[in-house]
Amino acid sequence: MDKREFLKLTSLAGAAVLSAPLSSLAAPAFTGKPSFADPKAPFVLPALPYAYDALEPNIDKLTMEIHHDKHHAAYVKNLNDALTGTAFAALSLEDILNKVTEKDKAIRNNGGGHYNHSLFWTLLSPKESNISAGLKSDLTSAFGTWESFQTKFNDAAKTVFGSGWAWLIVTPGKKLAIINTPNQDNPLMHNIVKDKGTPILALDVWEHAYYLKHQNKRPDYINAFWKAINWEEVEKRYKAAMA
């Protein structure tokens, strides 16, 4: 697929820009450009908390524009449409994910897409972010060494067949674990996933997240991701999950 074809497909896939107040995400409010607003819609496309080009050279500007303005926007619009007239319509996003089942296909896919992307943007940093000694020690204790933690996370991302996500989670038993999920599933979907937990780090390995810059070289994208992680946000989510 060449660049022109890719852009055509992404524009068709995300022809919608939407909005309204975002139901509770376990994330702080976004800053930066205002979101588009539709007072009748239950969910909103959050503005990025940094400029489209702020993550370069690790993640390029054009990918961020398409990923956020087309793909994420489409998930929010489709979620709002799917919720109309259902028992899910009055719930928070986390409650929707906790209750959704395999028969709720549109809500599952688009609710997951909205949550996952809203989380993902907060986990990326335009400035250098260093992991604290305490969090690094906990990750080392959980996975043996720092290098083995990175290798296990990388393997989770590399071995997603097709599209999906790699996750670092805090399990219900307050343990750190690394898992992956297909498509837009996530560890909050208690009726769907095998490994449940609270996400504290996430990596989108759908091709639209990296194809323009890295083509089919997913490992190159994964390596670039390590240079763009917002470790302060990861630690904040870790402490909240462990509390």
Residues at the annotated binding site for Mn(2+)? 67, 117, 204, 208
Cα-based angle 237, 50, 46 (whole degrees, multiple of 5): 70
107 vs 68: CA distance, rounded Å? 19
Strand spans (E) along 81-138: none
Sheet architecture: strand order including 198-204: 176-182, 164-170, 198-204
Q: Tokens 């909240």 label which residue?
A: 240
**Is the CB of residue 96 less than 8 Å from the CB of residue 170?**
no
Q: Which two tokens stand for residue 165?
A: 């996500």
Closest CA to 169 of 184, 180, 154: 180
**Is the CB of residue 49 less than 8 Å from the CB of residue 68?**
no
Length of the chain: 243
144 vs 71: CA distance, rounded Å? 37
195 vs 82: CA distance, rounded Å? 26
